Amino acid sequence: MKEDKDHQSIKTYLVGGAVRDQLLGIKVIERDWVVVGATAKAMLDQDFQQVGKDFPVFLHPESKEEYALARTERKDGSGHTGFQVHASADVTLEQDLLRRDLTINAIAKDDAGRLIDPYNGLGDINQRLLRHVSDAFTEDPLRVLRVARFHAKLLHLGFTVADETLALMKDISRSGELNTLSPERVWQEFRKGLNETSPQAFIQTLYQCGALEELLPELNRCFHNNDNMLDVSSSIGKRTLTALEYAAKQHYAGEIRWAIVLHAIDSNSRPKNIIAKVISKKSDSDNAIKMISERLRVPNDYGELASLVAYYIEFAIQAKASKPDIIISLLDICDAWRRPDRFQAFLQSCEALISTSPERSHQNLGSIAFLRTAHERCKQVDAKEFIAAGISGEAIGESIRNARKVCIAELKQQF
């Protein structure tokens, strides 16, 4: 930002995540700046474009990076937005940094590359601690989710949540303030947290501080229940965390990680007769996952995959021992013919969950490999050969199904 004769006192600092990630050797995705000593008029005079309504944020005329006037905040309402913002030329850099959530996010860098670190963020980086800047941390319930997300982002570097910060997160969770967050904002943080390097830390941190009980009580209950989904009695919560860790190491997509999170939510309605000749299609009524999706405004692709995994995972686990009819039904219900990518995501979700049970993983993973191969073989069945043979109408579909059954029967001899 240029400084002319009328703006000699204006200073610009790189702040927040860009400074933190530079110090940690993490690739910087975006840079944010804070401007001290400026007014909105001074910014507009230099061709910045104002975009913030609640507080003055401006886009640089060339780089389009965000520049925010230094500001202070005072709590005057409930929830994430219940703040009175004061942004003016007399707000200092230290005052602006004081309002931030964690010390590691409250470090600034000037144009000469010098660090301004009034709250010992560098010390906490060296100690690998996520620590709040001040007791004002409790004024914004969104910070509970943000800390959990930073834990998921930085766990692989050895970061932990400071005990005193975790205590404040528990206070916020008990206060009821989390319920003031909009569903869209809660989902945004869940989506980001689950896409971090260690998504299991996001869920575990929310559980430890009591936030999961408020935001996703259906999952919180899973941490107190066991089941026999993999033919071995196991903690659902522990399995979920282990599967998330596996999914992250395999770089699986966010939809798969969400399906893992919800895989046991609806287990009471999961069909148990997995050796039947047909698979019934899941009804949308009494669907816990559908209710969660509506409550948190979850995108359809996330919700659809989660429902498939929760309802049909046991069919996938037993596929190698199942009859051809039931394999075809599973492929039909998963719409594997028209949506092969989603079917692959279904199999990857099952694979992550199966891998959490060393006792049976080799046998059960064989079923996933079998399903993958069965899908590829069955896709090669072409309706054209039946049409050429004079078959028409509904008989074509029946002929295709019978041919696919033959493919699967032959494949079973090889597995």
Neighbours of 395 (CB within 10 A): 11
Coil vs helix vs strand at 87: strand
Measured distance CA(81)–CA(102) in Å, rounded: 18
Instruction: Using the predicted structure, report yes or no on whether residue 357 has a pLDDT greater than 90.
Output: no
Question: Binning pLDDT at 50, 70 and 90, where does residue 4 land?
Answer: very low
Instruction: For the chain, give every domain's residue range.
Output: 1-122, 250-415
Give the residue-averaged pLDDT of 246-267. 94
CA dihedral 240, 241, 246, 249 (to 10 degrees): 140
Give the residue-averaged pLDDT of 104-121. 96
* The pLDDT of residue 369: 93
Q: How far is CA 200 from the centre of its chain?
A: 10
Instruction: Using the predicted structure, report yes or no on whether residue 305 has a pLDDT greater than 50.
Output: yes
Chain mean pLDDT for the chain: 89
Question: Binning pLDDT at 50, 70 and 90, where does residue 1 land?
Answer: low
**Which residue pairs from 122-128 have beta carbons closer than 8 angstroms and sit at least 24 positions apart in sequence?**
122/23, 124/162, 125/20, 125/23, 125/24, 128/154, 128/157, 128/158, 128/159, 128/160
Instruction: Using the predicted structure, report yes or no on whether residue 61 has a pLDDT greater than 80.
Output: yes
Q: Which of these ranges, 4-18, 24-38, 361-375, 376-390, has the smallest mean pLDDT?
A: 4-18
Give the residue-averaged pLDDT of 386-402. 81
* The pLDDT of residue 189: 98
Of 96-100, 151-155, 391-395, where does the model show the most confidence?
A: 151-155
More confident residue, 386 or 112: 112
Q: Which residue has the tokens 């090889």?
A: 414
DSSP 306: H
Give the residue-averaged pLDDT of 40-53. 87
* The pLDDT of residue 382: 82
Instruction: Using the predicted structure, report yes or no on whether residue 85 has a pLDDT greater than 80.
Output: no
Answer whether 228's CB lies under 8 Å from 317's CB: no
Instruction: Kindly report, residue by residue over 266-279, the tens digit of the pLDDT.
Output: 776 665 555 554 56
Give the residue-averaged pLDDT of 341-355. 96
Superfamily name and number for 1-122? Beta Polymerase, domain 2 (3.30.460.10)
Instruction: Kindly report, residue by residue over 279-301, the tens digit of the pLDDT.
Output: 666 655 448 899 999 999 999 99
- Tell me, yes or no, if the pTM score tops 0.75: yes
Question: Binning pLDDT at 50, 70 and 90, where does residue 374 land?
Answer: very high
* The pLDDT of residue 40: 87
